[in-house]
Amino acid sequence: MRIITDTHGELNNPPLVYTVLMVRFPTQTSLEERIPEVQDALKQVYPIYEKRVQQGIEIIRSDDNQTVRTIDTPEFMFFDSARTKGVILKSDRIIFHSSVYPNFEEFSAWFKDVAGAVISILSISHYLSCGIRYIDAVVPDIASGESLEDYLQSSLLNFDICDNGIKKCLSSSQANVYESDIGVVRFNSYISFNEGVCVPPDLKDIAGLLRFEIVKSVAPFAILDFDHGYGAPDGTADELDLDKLVVQIDEMHTVASNAFLSAITENALGRWK
């Protein structure tokens, strides 16, 4: 459902800079040996293939002692030729991310094609959780007299306490967690008064794998981070029907879109058209 377009018309200059969709499933122990099949299925659209190993630490505790060991986690990555869309495949999840976003229907179709191939090759029958995350960069045109107040609801703006030795605000952030009919919505906002990267810190690693039209912004700017997630209850797993999963993600997208509309001003929509 295209909530924003249907109610406010097309945004020709939307603030959306990065979208991430993830589905987590039970660990697939045979993933690495099936990667050649995955690569063959995806190579027409995602011809660039890379592998990297992420290192983590596992702490094993017993009654007597504690052991620390390093764990190597392989990640298999596929990118389109422009490197604006990518797939990250791990033993327990598939991540689809993009720095381009024509509309939800096209984005979800890209994901469905990729997920369908992976699910078929790995014979994945159930999933544990899923989520979609939207990152918007709100950058006022200071030279034209714009400010963040023109774009954001007042409740998201920084609180000014520049007095008694305090010179200026360098940054401001808020973290909000809401329950939805589907799962949990996490809405984080960040305001920076210095030049910076227009993605949240926890996404810089995977976002840096793609090419962006906008990566850095002059100050001031704001990042709006909408993350809507669902998890199967009580450690269970849901049967994986891809058509039903896409419908569920569409519903999650609708909630995130409404949250976005609640965070911005009516004037902002006019400026992005």
Q: With a cut of 80, say whether residue 52 has pLDDT above it.
A: yes
What is the tens place of the pLDDT at every residue in 240-249?
A: 999 999 999 9
* Antiparallel, parallel or unpaired: β 129-138 and 126-127: unpaired
Q: What is the pLDDT of residues 143-170, one digit of tens each?
A: 889 999 999 999 998 877 766 778 788 8
For 77-126, what is each residue's pLDDT tens digit? 999 999 999 999 999 999 999 999 999 999 999 999 999 999 999 999 99
**Amino acid, single-letter form, for residue 99:** S
DSSP letter at 127?
Answer: E
pLDDT at 1 over 70: no
- Give the per-residue pLDDT at 93: 97
**Residue 173's pLDDT band (boundaries 50, 70, 90)?**
very high
What are the residues facing 85 on neighbouring strands?
98
Torsion angle, alpha carbons of 148, 253, 131, 183, to 10: 100
C-beta separation of 6 from 118 below 8 A = no
Q: Mean pLDDT across the stretch 174-199?
A: 93
Task: Pick the range with the lowest mean pLDDT from 20-29, 135-144, 209-218, 246-255.
Answer: 209-218
Residue 174 has pLDDT above 70, yes or no: yes
For 209, residues 6+ apart whose C-beta sits below 8 A from its C-beta are 77, 79, 83, 86, 88
Model confidence at 216, in pLDDT bands (50, 70, 90)?
Answer: low
Q: Give me the mean pLDDT over the 227-253 stretch.
A: 96
pLDDT at 164: 72
Q: Could you give the 3-state DSSP secondary structure of residue 80? A: coil
Answer whether 185's CB lies under 8 Å from 263's CB.
no
User: Residue 175: its pLDDT value, please?
Assistant: 95
pLDDT value of position 8 = 65
**Is the overall model pTM greater than 0.75, yes or no?**
yes
